[in-house]
Amino acid sequence: MVTIFFIIWTLGSVLLTLNVFKPLTNRRRSSVPAILLSYATGWLIGDLLPQWILLNTGILLLFSSLDIFSHPIGWTGLVLHLTGWCALILRLWVIFNSPPSLDKKMEQQLGNSWNNAESNFRPPKNIHEINWYSWLNPNIIFDDPRIEIIVDKEFHQENDLKLKLDIYRPRSSKKFLPAILQIHGGGWISGSKRQAALLMSHMAAQGWVCFSAVHRFSPEIVFPGHLIDIKRALNWIRKNAEKYGVDPEFVVVTGGSAGGHLASLMALTQNQPEFQPGFEKADTSIQGCVSLYGVYEFSEPFNNEKLYPAKAKLLEIVCGGTPKTKPDSFRKITPANWISSENPPFLLVQGDTDALISVNEAKNFFDGLKAQNSKNCAILNLPLVEHAFDIFPTLTAQCIVPIIERYLIMLHENFISSKGER
């Protein structure tokens, strides 16, 4: 019986390792639970590798105490496990060495504006610069003595509805600081304000004020309710700009997955009255957008050529129907339909082994932005990187997030420079 359990566990580990490099599910055929399982295991095992190795070492020791290594199958299994660990370590080594090439891609797309921008936080250049402690204990990022975190600040109340946000800000009392409005992911049906805490804590330590807002979830509401809630948060931020030391003229929006989609719409539907019921005259302009592994295609999952049943089922909940029954909702929810020559700058970031979102979604959306000659726009395709890579301060996040921070700083420096020229 011990041998059977050992074989099952070893084969399972091999499959989980392979899934990190190439998701084993197929978007055209796999069910929602299967796709989510593929994503979750690929993300957790790939990025939380130290914890995965420690867990498996403990299990190996347990099997060792049961005398599994007195049989050839035990040693064969051990070799397979060690080979899998080496492959996963090699993957992280590739990611660890990717920042210089990503920096070059940003320079090619943005030119001198990129070269002139500097962030206080940089990708680790050697193993000694890796923040191992935060990798093993993600909660440490909330204990930065340079920043203050204010949780559950209410920004909208209506009957029993209470929408809240968290605020990350420097402990210094400076005025007119640049601001970030962060939107969580979760498929429009769930999510947490604590997502992207690494980015927000880093930016707050560099003198930015960051707001992480929650919105109502489907099926309680359908689109555009989610977007309206986030615009309410932006309206509240500008109304309270003086209180929190924010420059109301400079607010950028960031988000991941469904939050990346909403961030894109926030940037593309500035001051659109139909998405601002009750506050139609409020300023909802955005000075830049960073969308990580965002969702950009909505009608395509229903088409035979790009069939994606799991995503189509989710979108039916979010939009309250299909493209045939709710054509107006699907038109409005699609970011590409709002692209114009007035777009603010965009940075799109997408992992090429994302189990949930095809890299082509970001590429097609970016092509639409460039067709309108949008300035200071860039796209990064990340090799061997999974969905939600930035949620925990893993090695992957430590290598990629500083590049995002530098882009945000570049946008603010360009904004300051343009004000001086007016």
Give the active site residues. 257, 354, 387
> Which has the closest alpha carbon to 148: 131, 171, 172?
171
Handedness of CA 227, 232, 238, 241 (dihedral sign): negative
266 closest CA partner among 244, 248, 290, 300: 290
Rounded Cα distance between 162 and 156, Å, is 6
Percentages (nearest 5) of helix, strand, coil residues in the chain:
50, 15, 35
Q: Is the peptide bond before 344 cis (omega within 30 degrees of 0)?
A: no
Integer angstrom CA distances of residue 242 from 151, 177, 178, 238, 247? 19, 10, 12, 8, 8
Phi, psi of 279 (to 5 degrees): -140, 45
Q: How far apart are CA 369 and CA 361, in angstroms?
A: 13
Burial of 112 (0-12, 13-18, 19+ CB in 10 A): exposed
DSSP class of residue 386 equals -
C-alpha closest to that of 195 among 138, 235, 242: 138
Between CA 119 and CA 115 the distance in angstroms is: 11
3-state class (DSSP) for residue 284: coil
- Which two three-digit tokens encode residue 411? 């946008």
Q: Which of 364, 221, 207, 222 is nearest to 296 (CA)?
A: 364
On the CB side of 325, how many CA atoms lie within 13 Å of its CA? 8
With a CB cutoff of 8 Å and minimum separation 6, the contacts of 243 are none
Question: What is the rounded distance in angstroms from the CA atom of residue 389 to the CA atom of residue 398?
Answer: 10
Angle between helices 49-65 and 32-47 (to 10 degrees): 90
CA angle, residues 340, 286, 311, in degrees to nearest 5: 70
Dist. CA 390–CA 400, nearest whole Å:
8
